[in-house]
Structure 1
C-alpha cells in the first residue's frame, strides 16, 4: 500500500437492505452464511481489514436481526425503510459518516472481495488522482450487468444498463461490479441524484455524470477474477460462492504448511486457525473458533467446533468435538465425542464410543471403550474401564464425580454422583458405587452371584420343539445330558 493510502482516511458504506426474496427463506438474505460468516459480515470484515475509519451498514429487510448479528463498537447502522434504490441507500449511510474522507461502497451479499483487491483499488484511485473509481471485471457474456463505456483516454464515460444498451454496447465485456471508491464530495453529489426513470428509484450510477459535470476524473480498475465481485441472490449462487470461498481458504492453509489429503472435501471455516504440519484427512469439518496445534492429525470425517488441539494430537476418524480442549500428545477416537467443557491434559487416551462432557481428565488418563464421563474430574494416570458411566443427573440437578490419581475402574461400573474416589482406589468390574471410596481401597458394589445347577437343561427341554430347527447344536447337546 502506498504511503498516501495509509494517511488518507477511508469510510465504508455497506449496502445490505435487500429483501432477497429468491432465497425463499425466513432468514434475512444477508445472514445466510458463507464458510462460517454471514454474507454481510464478510463485507464488514473487508472494510475493517482495509483500514476503514467509519463503517456504516445500511439495513432494511430483517434489520433487527442483521444489526444484532453485526453489533459492535466499530459498526453503525442506517435503516432504509422504503427501498428507493442504491442512491437512496447510499445517502442514508453517508449521513452517518463524519465526512472529509474517501468513501468506499460495498455490498452485503458479495463476500468474495479480498483485502488485496481493495488495497489495489485504493492505490489506483489515489495514484491516478481519480474522483471516482469503479471496480470492474470482464466476462465473455456479461448479460445482466451494466457495461463500462470508456472514452479514448481510457476513462469511464458512462455505465449503461443492460436494458438501455445498444447492440454495440451489449458486446462490451467489461462490467460494473457496483463497488465504488469516491472522494469526499460523494455524499453532497449523491443528494443531487434524481429518480426520473421507469422505476422511480435513485441510482448510484448517476454519480458518474455528476462528477463529470464538475470536470472530475472517473476511472475503472478492472480486476482479472470476476468471481471476486459475485453476489448471491438464491441458494444456487450461495452454494457457488461457498465453493469458491472454501477453495480460497483451503489453498491459504495449504500454502501455510497444512496437508489436506483431499481439499475438495475439507470444510474449514474462515475463523479456524491451523498450525504448520497439521494433516487433515478427507471429509474433515472445522468450525468456529477452532485452533489446531502443530503436528496434529485429524482423521477422516471428524468434526471439530470451537475446539483447541495442542501439538501432536491425534483425532481418529468419525470423532465429534465441540467446545473441547485437548492437550499435547493426546489421542481421541475413532467414533468418540467430546462435548462442551471437556478438557484433556497431555497424553490422554480416549477410545472408541467414549463421550466426555464438562470434565477434566489429567495427564495420562485412559478411557478406551464405551464410556460416559460427564461432570467429572479424573486424576493423572487413572484407567476407566469399558462400559463405565458417571451417573451425574438426578432428574433435576447435575452432580460431580471426583476421581483421584492412579484409580483403576473395572468394566461396567456405575459411579453415582456426587461421589469421590481417592488416589489409587480400585472399583471392581460391574460395581455400582454410591458412596465415597477411600484412598487405596477397593470398592465392590454388586449382588452375590448364585449358580443354579441344571437350569439350562430344564429350560432347553421345554423349548426343544420350538427351536430345534433353528439351533442345530441343541439336539446333540441334550442327547449328551441323558
Structure 2
C-alpha cells in the first residue's frame, strides 16, 4: 500500500477578505475553510502537512490538531516554493496530494480518482472546464495529451482561448515531485516558483500526465472575498438539502434551509423554512419542525412537534413532545415523553417528566419535574441566590398555580397544589394546597390619580 501525504497550502493572507483572520480561517457552515479541506484529507491520507504563513500561530491555535505537521513558509515565493517547504518531511515512496486551504468543497471521490490516476502515470492533475476561464492557468494539450499549464499572465492569445483550466490540485509520486521542484526557476511574469511548471518538466522528461476533469466547478472553486464565500455557502447548503431530501427528509423550501453540522433523521420528518441546524442533531420518525427554528446538538424523538421560532440547544426531547412556539430549551434540558413546553417558556438544565405541561410564559431552571405536572402561566423557579444555583423538585401530579415563584432549594410534594400568585419558600407537602397571599382588601377612599 502506497502512503498518501496531503500537502495543504494555507499560507495566504487573503487581503480581499478585509479581515484580521487569515483567509483559511474564514468560516463556511460553521467550519473554517481549512477545516473543510482537512476533513476530506483525513479520509484518504496517512499524513497531513499544512504549509502556513500569515497568522500562522492563529491558524494552528484554531485548528488545534496534533496530528498535523505544520510547515512554515517564511517568504511568499509562489506555490512551488510553498510545496518545497513540505517535501523534506515526506518519504520518497509515497504519493503527495497537493490541496489548497481555501478550496473547501473538494470531495473525497474526486481525490480518490486523482490518486488512482497518479498510481498509473506518476503525475495526475485535476482540471475543470469553465465558460469564462479568465484568471486561471490553461491546460495545454497536444492530441489530447497534456503538455503544460500556462498561467494567465504568461499565456499567448491562442492559449487564452482554452477553457480547460488548472485547479492547482494534483497528485504526484513524491520522488518525481522532489525532482521537478528542484528544477523550478522564476522565469515568469510573477518572478515566482510556479508549481505548475513541474508539468512541463515532466513532459520534457517523457512522462505522460494523467488528468481528472471534474464536472462541478464549485468543487474546485477557491475563496478570495466575502462574496465568493457567501456564494459557496449557498452551494454547500443546496448540496446538503438535496442529499437529505434524497434520503427522505421533507424540506418545505430547500433554498431556506441551513445545516451547519450533521443531521440524521428517521422517516417522514418535515422541516419548514428558515430552520438552522448546528452541531450534531438527530430526529426520530414523524417529527415536524415549523419555521424559524434553531436546533443545536440535540436529540429529538419520534412524533415530536417543534412549533415556530423555537430554540433548542444541547437538549433531549422525548417522543410525542410539543415545543413552542417561541420556546427556548437550553443546555442539559431533558423534555419527557408527551410533555408540552409552550410559548415563551424557557427550560434550563432541567428534567420535565412524561406528560407534564409548562404551557405559558414560565422559567424552569435547575429543576426535576415529575410526571403529569401542570405548571401554570408565569411560574418561575428562583434557582439563583446571587452566588449559587439551587434545585427545585416537583413531584408527580403536582399543580403549580399561575404567577407563582418557587424559591429554591425547595421540594413540591406529589399531587400537591400551589395556589396562584404564591411565593413558596418552604417545601410543600404532597396532596395538599399550599399558598401565600396577603388578604384581599378594599380601600373605599382611594381615588385614581388624574393627569394634571
Distance 1:376 1:137 in 2: 58
Point out where structure 2 has 5 or more consecutive residues left out of the alignment.
none
1:77 to 50, 70, 73: 70
Q: Which residue of 2 aligns with 1:470?
A: none
1:395 is aligned to 2:386 = yes
Preserved contact between residue 155 and residue 220 of structure 1 (Cα < 8 Å): no
1:325 is aligned to 2:316 = yes
1:293 is aligned to 2:258 = no
The correspondence of residues 306-345 of structure 1 with structure 2, limited to 5 A, is 306-345=297-336
Q: Secondary structure of 2:274's match?
A: coil
Q: Which has the larger radius of gyration?
A: 1
Q: Secondary structure of 2:171's match?
A: strand
Q: Which residue of 2 aligns with 1:145?
A: 136
Preserved contact between residue 343 and residue 359 of structure 1 (Cα < 8 Å): yes
1:110 to 91, 103, 108: 103
Q: Which residue of 1 aligns with 2:174?
A: 184
Q: Secondary structure of 1:439's match?
A: coil
Distance 2:355 2:68 in 1: 47
Preserved contact between residue 36 and residue 271 of structure 1 (Cα < 8 Å): no
1:175 is aligned to 2:165 = yes
Pairwise CA distance, 1:454: 6.2
Change over 3 Å in CA distance of 1:421–1:225 after alignment to 2:
same
Pick which of 87-96 and 364-373 moved more: 87-96
Q: Which residue of 2 aligns with 1:30?
A: 24
Q: Secondary structure of 2:344's match?
A: strand
1:68 is aligned to 2:61 = yes
Distance 2:289 2:355 in 1: 20
Distance 2:267 2:5 in 1: 36
Q: Secondary structure of 2:140's match?
A: strand
Pick which of 275-284 and 226-235 moved more: 275-284
Pick which of 426-435 and 77-86 moved more: 77-86
Q: Which residue of 1 aligns with 2:425?
A: 434
1:15 to 9, 28, 38: 9
Q: Which residue of 2 aligns with 1:476?
A: none
Preserved contact between residue 135 and residue 222 of structure 1 (Cα < 8 Å): yes
Change over 3 Å in CA distance of 1:311–1:64 after alignment to 2:
farther
Distance 2:170 2:309 in 1: 46
Q: Which residue of 1 aligns with 2:37?
A: 43
Preserved contact between residue 131 and residue 211 of structure 1 (Cα < 8 Å): no
2:395 to 383, 391, 404: 404
Per-residue CA distance 1:31-64 (angstroms, 9 max, x = gap): 1111221111111111123x21111111222222
Q: Which residue of 1 aligns with 2:274?
A: 283
Q: Secondary structure of 1:167's match?
A: coil
Instruction: Provide the aligned length of Structure 1 versus Structure 2.
Output: 451
Pairwise CA distance, 1:294: 2.3
Pairwise CA distance, 1:335: 0.5
Change over 3 Å in CA distance of 1:432–1:99 after alignment to 2:
farther
Q: Secondary structure of 1:340's match?
A: coil
1:364 is aligned to 2:355 = yes
Q: Which residue of 2 aligns with 1:473?
A: none
Pairwise CA distance, 1:283: 1.0
Distance 2:90 2:375 in 1: 61
2:156 to 155, 161, 166: 166
Q: Which residue of 1 aligns with 2:238?
A: 247
Provide TM-score, normalisation by structure 1: 0.90
Distance 1:96 1:391 in 2: 60
- Bigger share in strand: 2
Preserved contact between residue 78 and residue 96 of structure 1 (Cα < 8 Å): no
> Where do 4+ consecutive residues of structure 1 move more than 4 Å?
none
Change over 3 Å in CA distance of 1:172–1:277 after alignment to 2:
same
Preserved contact between residue 23 and residue 235 of structure 1 (Cα < 8 Å): yes
Provide TM-score, normalisation by structure 2: 0.95
Distance 1:327 1:310 in 2: 5
Preserved contact between residue 372 and residue 389 of structure 1 (Cα < 8 Å): yes
Preserved contact between residue 10 and residue 101 of structure 1 (Cα < 8 Å): yes
Question: What is the RMSD of the two structures over their aligned residues, measured on CA atoms?
Answer: 1.8
